[in-house]
Amino acid sequence: MKKFDPDRPWDLTTLPTTMAPQGSRPHAPVEDQCFLGAEADIKQPPKLQEAVATIKNWFRASSLNVLAFGTGCGAIELRPLSTSRFDMSRFGIPGAPTPRQSNVFIISGYLSVKTLTRVIRCYEQMPDPKWVVALGSCTINGGMYWDSYNTIKVLDLYLPVDVYVSGCMPRPEALIAGFQYLMDDVKKGKANGWHHYLENLEWYRENQKQVITDWDLPNYNW
C-alpha cells in the first residue's frame, strides 16, 4: 500500500481500508497444545502427555471435512472422487458446504488473482487446525499457465500448503493417495501449515498484497 500523502488527500488508495480493532492482537491465539511435543507446560507425565497428543491427532485425522470450493479444472476430479465411483467417504472424508464448517481446503488447479482473494478469505474463516491440499502442477510452478498475466505460479507464497499432488490433472486415485499422506502427517503432528501461517502472517500478507493490488482484506487474521 502507498503511504498517505497529505498533499493528495483525495487519493483513497493510500488509506488503509480495514483496521484491526483497538487493542486487538495481530492474529488469533495460537493453540500450541494441539501438537505432539508442544505440551511441556502442562504438568503431566511425558508418557500420558504423548498419549493424549496422539489421541488428539488421531481424532483430527479422522475428521477431515473438505470445503466445497473448486478453483480450477481440478474441481472436475472432485466429482467422481466424492460420488460412487471413487467414493472418498469410505475414507471418512465428507464434504462441507461452508468455510466455517470445514478444515481441509483443496486448491484444485490454477488460481487467478481474483480467485486468490476469495480463497484467502475462505481460508482465514476456516477454524483451526486446518490443512491445504494443492492439486495439480499449476499450484506448484504455474503449470500450463506459466505465462498467464492473471494467474499465480507458486501457491505457497500466499497460503501454507501441507500436501502437494502433482499432475495435470491428477487422477482421483492420486488425490486419495494425497489424502492418506495428509492423514499420516496429521497423525504424526507434522501437518502444521496453519500454525506456520499464523506465525509468519506478516510475510504471507506482504506476498499477498504484491499480487492483490486492490487489497480490501483486514491486516489481521480472522
Partner 1 sequence: MFDINHGNLDDSPDVGQEIVRRIHDRFGDFPARFQKADLVRLDVPQKDIIPVLSWLRTETPFVQLTHLTAVDWLEDGQFELMYLVTAPDLMVSLHLCVRLDRAKAEAESVFNLWLQAETYEQEINEMFGIHFPGSPRQGVPFILEGWRDMPPMRRDFDTVAYCDRTHPVRPGREHQDSRVYVGRKFGEKGYLK
Positions touching partner 1 (CB under 8 A) are 112-114, 117, 140-142, 146-154, 157, 210-215
- Show the CA angle centred on residue 220, arms to residues 215 and 221, nearest 5°: 100
As measured in angstroms, the least distance from the Cβ of 17 to partner 1 is 12
| Alpha helices per DSSP H over 45-171 | 46-61, 75-82, 113-125, 138-141
Q: From the CB of 112, what's the least distance to partner 1, in Å?
A: 7
Nearest residue (CB) to partner 1, 1 versus 51: 1
Cα separations (Å) of 179 from 4, 21, 133, 212? 46, 38, 8, 30
The smaller minimum CB distance to partner 1, of residues 10 and 149, is found at 149
C-alpha cell at 40: 511441556
Q: CB 200 → partner 1: shortest distance, Å?
A: 16
- Of the pair 4, 146, the CB lying nearest partner 1 is at 146
Query: Toward partner 1, which CB reaches closer, 17 or 62?
Result: 17
Tell me the three state secondary structure of residue 128. coil
Angle between helical axes of 46-61 and 172-188 (0-180°, round to 10)? 160
CB of 144 to partner 1, least distance (A): 9
Beta bridge partners of 67: 96
Task: Tally helices (H) and strands (E) across the chain.
Answer: 7, 5
Question: Residue 28 or residue 73: which is nearer to partner 1 going by CB?
Answer: 73
Beta carbon of residue 49, minimum distance to partner 1 (angstroms, whole number)? 38
